[in-house]
Structure 1
């Protein structure tokens, strides 16, 4: 059996859940992300279950390591980046600079195979910890049979979606300032996500959707016109992939990992992190040009079909597991 301990409520949980649904003998072991503040609490997870292989994330990997079971560690992003510090609490920063840094370092050293979800994340890990071993990149994928485009609406309102945990690292603090620079025909809708939330504020055109079940996400994307992702850091965004598969253009932060997903000027626009004016201008451009939205959405859909299918992602992990376990 392949055991996969993973925290609930983030992109890693989505990816490992997809593997559990599609691979035989893959057992998901979800846990609260609050365990990270007392790392030894990871140790008992799945300890009594037999395992031929462990597939873990860096923050808990060393506590799941077993004799005779190869350890595959997948980094779904690099949250230790100093650029994230201004958007985190003092406790989060202390955690990142001390025990979390050490746990990532040890996971990279002890892993039989180290994988990441983007070349940008692989490069960041390599530079931070002086990793010389090969790092295997396996892109996240999306089920393009569930997330599909529909005919555009004609009600005159342009709906912009912010999907994910409403946290400062995701740029939630910029939603209101961005909205203030947009025409009155444009509204911003945001999901609550699965983790603790930052304050978003209120505005007649800022609409809270609450927590949306993943099974309801395809219809949500189909009701929207543009995806907004003003993140400070990303590994390889699931929300971007789902929006692309749904035929939406994307306006996102110009981050190295997102450049591997979004082709600037073809599938959307990449803006400097925190540049509220640039985000508003990009959204306004798309709002005023229906043909541009359709063209960029079609481009994104084609990108998913050729580069980011979930079946490709699952097959890559399956091949890796078979090779080493």
Structure 2
């Protein structure tokens, strides 16, 4: 038996948190599982249902807050010492630094961190960028292994954080292939659409993700509004997720008079079913690690249109298994939407290629087995 703790910031179930839950759910039965998190919510509920122990750390916050950060560090250090974990596995930028530092001081023998995209792109000033870099450098010094989702982040670890190849593992995200799968051609998609409140006679364009700056949903809404300047595109827009930008997005849709054609669904637990009912998936993010949302859409056989950024380029190869467009360029996104909405054979070809890539490279079961092997290697090496 080994005792494993994952440390996560928010109790939501957006991409990064779902990675954590997927891993906790699938760790083998010989593992005693813990989750440390800022509060209670869908993530902690899922963790409890999967047999994990949950410990809430209210002072874990996203913003830099010296007093709360010290309290969070102190609380984690005491818990790690008391529980004598074999493995502490951290996620997210600031939580990862505090968690790894506390684990190192507590003498945890295996400290692992997953990079879900570095914080550098979010820096709004040179000072902030230097602070973020210093935090990541400190966290790296406390890690036995850093898991990167792709080579771009591994290169940052080597070149900017000074980590050796021995301490870096490239381990792409994975999804449950039994949960995210294409709709059979024999199924009446139109009837299913009516059953969940979608129009049967219109194509559907979907985005799944938090409605905030990073995901850049404004670009998609603007592109969709542009489509209507040339007449009805014959497609509705579906936004699954919530966040600070919801009200401004609703205002833009109202200004365009498209309230009946843009559907704000909030967070849903039936995302696989909704994806299978759609025709095109879009993710216009400004930066990403390796988005589960893209993998899940590809798993469901959907053609995808995504922003041309490093995290997305590792999943989508232009005109082979999806389409790329310049980040923030609503006009280019609108053109890509027209290309797919008007070409059924292209949608089918790109969707099939995406599903094949996910089957070959992004199975969550294999990812978790690789992660368990990494834990064993570090514990046996004693480094």
Same-fold call, TM cutoff 0.5: yes
Structure 2 counterpart of 1:70? 110
Q: 2:178 aligns with which of 122, 132, 145?
A: 145
* Kept in 2: contact 1:37–1:95 (CA 8 A): no
**CA–CA separation in structure 2 for the residues paired with 1:209 and 1:94:** 38
Deviation of the 1:271 alpha carbon: 0.7
Structure 1, residues 79-131: CA drift from partner, whole Å, max 9, x if none?
212xx45xxxx6xx699435443221101122111111121222234333343
- Matched residue of 2:301: which SS? coil
Tell whether 2:288 aligns with 1:230: no
**CA–CA separation in structure 1 for the residues paired with 2:62 and 2:127:** 12
Q: Structure 1 residues 125 and 196, CA, compared in 2 at 3 Å: closer, same or farther?
A: farther
TM-score, length-normalised on structure 2?
A: 0.76
Q: Structure 1 residues 196 and 181, CA, compared in 2 at 3 Å: closer, same or farther?
A: closer
Structure 1 counterpart of 2:238? 189
Q: Structure 1 residues 95 and 312, CA, compared in 2 at 3 Å: closer, same or farther?
A: farther
* Kept in 2: contact 1:35–1:42 (CA 8 A): no
Q: Structure 1 residues 102 and 157, CA, compared in 2 at 3 Å: closer, same or farther?
A: same
Q: Structure 1 residues 187 and 127, CA, compared in 2 at 3 Å: closer, same or farther?
A: farther
Q: Structure 1 residues 174 and 261, CA, compared in 2 at 3 Å: closer, same or farther?
A: same
Structure 1, residues 243-265: CA drift from partner, whole Å, max 9, x if none?
01000011001112211111210
**CA–CA separation in structure 2 for the residues paired with 1:133 and 1:302:** 30
**CA–CA separation in structure 2 for the residues paired with 1:80 and 1:136:** 20
The 5-angstrom pairing of residues 191-270 of structure 1 reads 191-193=240-242, 196-197=244-245, 199-201=248-250, 202=253, 203-204=258-259, 205-213=261-269, 216-270=270-324
Structure 1, residues 211-249: CA drift from partner, whole Å, max 9, x if none?
112xx1111111211111111101101000100100001
- Matched residue of 1:25: which SS? strand
The 5-angstrom pairing of residues 97-136 of structure 1 reads 97=129, 99-134=131-166, 135-136=168-169
* Kept in 2: contact 1:119–1:257 (CA 8 A): no
Structure 1 counterpart of 2:329? 275
* Kept in 2: contact 1:42–1:64 (CA 8 A): no
**CA–CA separation in structure 2 for the residues paired with 1:100 and 1:62:** 15
Q: Which stretch shifts more, 225-234 or 8-17?
A: 8-17
Q: Structure 1 residues 102 and 301, CA, compared in 2 at 3 Å: closer, same or farther?
A: same
* Kept in 2: contact 1:42–1:63 (CA 8 A): no
**CA–CA separation in structure 2 for the residues paired with 1:196 and 1:3:** 31
Deviation of the 1:27 alpha carbon: 1.9
Structure 1 counterpart of 2:197? none
Q: Which has the greater radius of gyration?
A: 2
Aligned residue pairs total: 314
Q: Structure 1 residues 62 and 99, CA, compared in 2 at 3 Å: closer, same or farther?
A: farther
Deviation of the 1:50 alpha carbon: 2.8
- Matched residue of 1:227: which SS? strand
Q: Structure 1 regions of 5+ residues with no counterpart?
A: none
Deviation of the 1:36 alpha carbon: 4.2
Deviation of the 1:35 alpha carbon: 4.7
Q: Structure 1 residues 322 and 131, CA, compared in 2 at 3 Å: closer, same or farther?
A: closer
Structure 1 counterpart of 2:34? 27
| Higher RCO (CA-CA < 8 Å; seq separation 6+) | 1
Q: Structure 1 residues 95 and 187, CA, compared in 2 at 3 Å: closer, same or farther?
A: farther
**CA–CA separation in structure 2 for the residues paired with 1:318 and 1:233:** 29
Structure 1 counterpart of 2:48? none
The root-mean-square deviation of aligned C-alpha atoms, in Å, is 2.2
- Matched residue of 1:166: which SS? coil
